[in-house]
Amino acid sequence: EDGSDEVKLLVKMKGESYRALRWMTEAEVLVVAGKGYFNRWRTNNIARPYGLSAMERGTHELYQQVDRIVAVRMRTRSPTSASPSSSPSSVAGERQYLVKWHMRGYKDSTWENATALTSHKDRRAIQRFEEANAS
């Protein structure tokens, strides 16, 4: 918190995992999502209090857990500003894994840098994938 009274929203960007959730002001969301999208969101959530319930916090934490690794690739180019889902720390030649997240469908899988998958569970999922795909 920066001490201001400005309302911030917890935002999940399209194409990014729940590990990349970020707090944004309404003005920042307007820039990224556009006025039409933001107004539709506000209309659908007008009666909802700000903040996350304990259940939502727990669900978001579950969505951040790797269920399985689906594929691997070497990043062939550095990200550009035209590709908002690319991590700014991605560099050409870096290994990335397609991660299927816990309690999320395959359509919500995201490419994650190997350097970002550091927990014991992350490393175990990578190990299972590599063992299953060994030549």
Domains and their CATH numbers in the chain: 8-61 (no CATH), 65-132 (2.40.50.40)
Q: Quick one: pLDDT band at residue 128, thresholds 50, 70, 90? A: very high
Where b means 16+ CB within 10 Å and e means fewer, 13-25 reads eeebbbbbeeebe
Output the pLDDT for position 82.
Answer: 43
Whether 50 and 7 have beta carbons less than 8 Å apart is answered as: yes
Beta bridge partners of 68: 100
User: pTM score > 0.85 for this model?
Assistant: no
Whole-number mean pLDDT of the chain?
81
Phi-psi region of 51 (alpha: psi -120 to 50; beta: other; left: phi over 0): left
Over residues 33-81, the pLDDT tens digits come to 888 877 777 776 665 555 566 566 666 788 999 999 999 999 876 655 4
DSSP output for 29-75: HHHHH-HHHHHHHHHHHTTSPSS--HHHHHHHHHHTSEEEEEEEEE-
pLDDT(88) > 70: no
Output the pLDDT for position 98.
Answer: 98
- Which residue in this structure is represented by tokens 């999320």? 104
